């Protein structure tokens, strides 16, 4: 993977596909990797929140990483999420993911219960020390409060050279992103999560990429590129078209799983939208609205395909 001072653009989260009996559907997972490659991204991440990682056994988490690494065959880099509230188990997952061939390992800060920052320092330091030769992406999604402090971020970077990337998911975070860039000298590659909702605000500040759902990754890749190239009007126009679908689906993470998989069905990538129980059961009105929103995404893809290909051609010649 590129160094942190290079742009990544979009690094989509690969959802976990399931069979009718809620077992991991490996052929469908391979289709998802192929779709990511076709979207022009250079890296993908799994199994994350948007992959239902919290419903997978540790063996299944490693299973999806192994399938992704083998099937990608170097076509895209694999960021292997190694989440676990137990540091011991997170380390076991991370080391197994490295052995499986992951290019980067990722870790979500444990947020099941509120912990003092000293506890988080010990947890994150122990994790970083366990895979010293592998780049690490730290993710902090804390619905109940603020993400880790700039001071802790700077300290971890100074102590652990493999701490390369940071993904934050919170509103009104531009000042914090600016402060992180200033305090770390831009050495930490910053990613924005939460479906990419805040990307247009943060791209001019110097973020390295966004980590949204897979189903809109090709569209957001174009938005990211346009914004970075100074094509602000075109970036806003395209982003405004896709934002209603992202915003509606992210009202509830389990609703997001349903909407994301339904969109991938509409795009011809998946055959079902099964999520492991407990799963969100959308009401008829939501089902109808999601279909309408997803159709608008299909309209965007159909309208924009020639522009996306034209843009890719232009970039390849640059």
pLDDT digits (tens, 9 = 90+) for 227-263: 999 999 999 999 999 999 999 999 999 999 999 999 9
Spatial separation of the C-alpha atoms in residues 42 and 224, rounded to whole Å: 14
pLDDT at 138: 97
Question: 10 Å Cβ neighbour count for 118?
Answer: 9
pLDDT at 307 over 70: no
The pair of three-digit structure tokens given for residue 268, joined into one six-digit string:
């011809």
Distance CA 60, CA 67 (A): 10
Q: How would you class 313 by CB atoms within 10 Å of its CB: exposed for 0-12, middle for 13-18, buried for 19 or more?
A: exposed
pLDDT of residue 142 exceeding 90: no
The first and second tokens of residue 136, run together, are: 């690490």
pTM as predicted: 0.93
Q: Which whole number is the average pLDDT over 209-215? A: 97
Instruction: Determine phi and psi for 131, rounding to 5 degrees.
Output: -135, 60
Structure tokens at 158: 């100074």
What confidence tens digit (pLDDT) does each residue in 33-42 have? 999 999 999 9
Q: Which residues contact 299 (CB under 8 A, 6 or more apart)?
A: none
Other C-beta atoms closer than 10 Å to the C-beta of 285 total 8
pLDDT of residue 90: 98
User: Does position 267 have pLDDT exceeding 70, yes or no?
Assistant: yes
> 253-266 and 232-249 helices cross at what angle (nearest 10)?
120
What pLDDT does residue 310 have?
46
| CATH for 9-229, options being 3.30.70.260, 3.40.309.10, 1.10.10.350, 3.20.20.70 | 3.20.20.70
- Give per-residue pLDDT as tens, 1-15: 444 445 489 999 999
Q: What is the pLDDT of the chain when averaged over all its residues?
A: 93
* Three-class SS state of 139: strand
Longest dimension (CA), the chain: 52
């Amino acid at each position: 993977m590129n160094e942190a001072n290079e742009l990544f653009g979009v690094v989509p989260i690969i959802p976990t596909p399931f069979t009718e009996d809620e077992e991991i559907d490996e052929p469908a997972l391979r289709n998802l990797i192929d779709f990511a490659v076709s979207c022009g991204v250079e890296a993908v991440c799994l199994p994350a929140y948007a992959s239902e990682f919290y419903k997978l056994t540790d063996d299944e988490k490693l299973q999806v990483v192994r399938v992704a690494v083998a099937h990608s065959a170097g076509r895209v880099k694999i960021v292997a999420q190694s989440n676990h509230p137990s540091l011991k188990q997170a380390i076991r997952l991370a080391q197994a993911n490295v052995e499986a061939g992951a290019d980067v390992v990722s870790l979500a800060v444990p947020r099941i219960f509120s912990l003092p920052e000293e506890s988080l320092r010990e947890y994150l330091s122990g994790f970083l020390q366990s895979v010293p030769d592998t780049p690490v992406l730290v993710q902090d999604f804390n619905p109940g409060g603020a993400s880790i402090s700039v001071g802790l971020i700077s300290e971890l970077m100074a102590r652990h050279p493999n701490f390369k990337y940071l993904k934050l998911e919170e509103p009104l975070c531009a000042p914090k992103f600016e402060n992180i860039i200033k305090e770390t000298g831009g050495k930490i590659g910053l990613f924005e999560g939460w479906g990419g909702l805040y990307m247009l605000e943060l791209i001019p500040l110097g973020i390295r990429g966004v980590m949204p759902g897979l189903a809109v990754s090709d569209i957001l890749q174009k938005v990211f590129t346009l914004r970075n190239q100074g094509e602000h009007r075109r970036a806003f126009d395209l982003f405004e078209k896709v934002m209603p679908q992202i915003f509606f689906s992210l009202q509830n993470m389990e609703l997001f799983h349903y909407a994301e998989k339904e969109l991938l069905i509409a795009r011809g990538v998946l055959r079902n939208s099964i999520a492991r129980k407990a799963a969100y059961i959308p009401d008829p009105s939501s089902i109808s609205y999601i279909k309408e929103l997803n159709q608008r995404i299909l309209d965007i893809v159909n309208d924009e395909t020639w522009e996306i290909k034209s843009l890719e051609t232009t970039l390849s010649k640059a």
